[in-house]
Amino acid sequence: MAGKIRGKSKLTREPKKKREDEEQLNLIGTKKSSTLKAFRFYENDLQRLQEVAQKMNKVSHRHISETAVIRALLVLGAKSSDAKLIKALRDSI
């Protein structure tokens, strides 16, 4: 016959408590996660984007992608006034 086991189970143990005197070093910061977003451009919008990218590449010492151009235009849009943005929207239609 099997007798009863009289020891404590590992499952009943309390988890180790974190000591307050332990320091945590966060040496690596969290990475920014990018969210993918797709947009559809008309042919003339793509031509404008390529023209702007070419202008920027002429004066830059390194290659600037069309994605970087869009990011720069977003920054400009955030700094512009509402009236200028509405005017640009009306010109694009």
The model's pTM is 0.58
Distances (CA, A) of 60 to 35, 53, 69, 73: 27, 10, 12, 16
From CA 12, how far away is CA 16, in angstroms rounded?
Answer: 12
Domain boundaries, the chain: 47-93
Per residue in 24-79, pLDDT tens? 766 777 777 778 888 899 999 999 999 999 999 999 989 999 999 999 999 999 99
